[in-house]
Amino acid sequence: MYQSKKKKIVSKIVTLGMVVMLFASMGMMGASADTSVYSFNFNGGGMRTTNAMLKHTSSSMQMYCQDQSTYHTYVAWAQGGNSANGSFVNCDKNGQFRYTFSKGTNGTILNLVKENGYLYARIAAQPDGSQAYYARGTWKQDI
């Protein structure tokens, strides 16, 4: 009888350990802790992009504009591609997921990168006007 109770306790401990490990691994495989620095030099207008990062989940992306040389804003949206240095397409639901940033803005960017079957994500940005200015900050491909 004592042996049976001991087996049940050991079985429960092993099961609990497996559940804890499962949830821990799901957390590790889920949202990425990758954060990348960006610097846009808007010199006479034109679109700029961040570097590309591997997109792990279908979660939103995050962008924080830490510094900017003028009061101007820029519009940012997600793009997806199948290699870090290949071609990219807009994944912004036909322009519905576009967001305005200025110094101090910390925003969530909805996107369809994974839903559209792409492996890599980056953020594209368009300045408001043609005045030369810079914007710098950080971004995450998965939050």
Please tell me whether residues 65 and 114 are part of one structural domain.
yes
Please tell me whether residues 25 and 83 are part of one structural domain.
no
For residues 38 and 52, give the distance between their C-alpha atoms in angstroms, rounded to a whole number: 11
pTM of the model: 0.76
Please tell me whether residues 63 and 109 are part of one structural domain.
yes
DSSP string, 36-80: EEEEEEESSS--EE---EE--SS--EEEEEEEESSS--EEEEEEE
**According to the model, what pLDDT value does residue 93 have?**
97
Q: Token pair for residue 31?
A: 């949202």
Q: What value does the mean pLDDT take over residues 26-48?
A: 75
Please tell me whether residues 54 and 89 are part of one structural domain.
yes
For residues 23 and 39, give the distance between their C-alpha atoms in angstroms, rounded to a whole number: 36
Q: What value does the mean pLDDT take over residues 114-124?
A: 98
Q: What angle do CA 46, 48, 52 make, to 5 degrees?
A: 155
Please tell me whether residues 57 and 112 are part of one structural domain.
yes
Domain of 10?
1-30
Q: What residue has token string 């793009």?
A: 79
Please tell me whether residues 22 and 41 are part of one structural domain.
no
- Range in 47-51, 113-117, 124-128, 129-133 with the lowest mean pLDDT: 129-133
Tally of domains within the chain: 2
**According to the model, what pLDDT value does residue 131 have?**
85
Please tell me whether residues 22 and 46 are part of one structural domain.
no
> Which CATH number is 47's domain given?
2.60.120.510
- Nearest in space to 142 (alpha carbons), one of 100, 117, 116, 113: 113
Question: How much of the chain exceeds pLDDT 90, in percent?
Answer: 68
Which of the two residues, 10 and 51, has the higher pLDDT score?
Answer: 51
Please tell me whether residues 76 and 115 are part of one structural domain.
yes
Please tell me whether residues 42 and 25 are part of one structural domain.
no
Question: Which residues are CB-contacts of 75 (< 8 A; sequence separation ≥ 6)?
Answer: 98, 99, 100, 101, 125, 126, 128
What are the Cα distances from residue 131, in Å, to 38, 71, 112, 136, 141? Answer: 19, 11, 31, 16, 28
Please tell me whether residues 63 and 133 are part of one structural domain.
yes
Please tell me whether residues 49 and 26 are part of one structural domain.
no
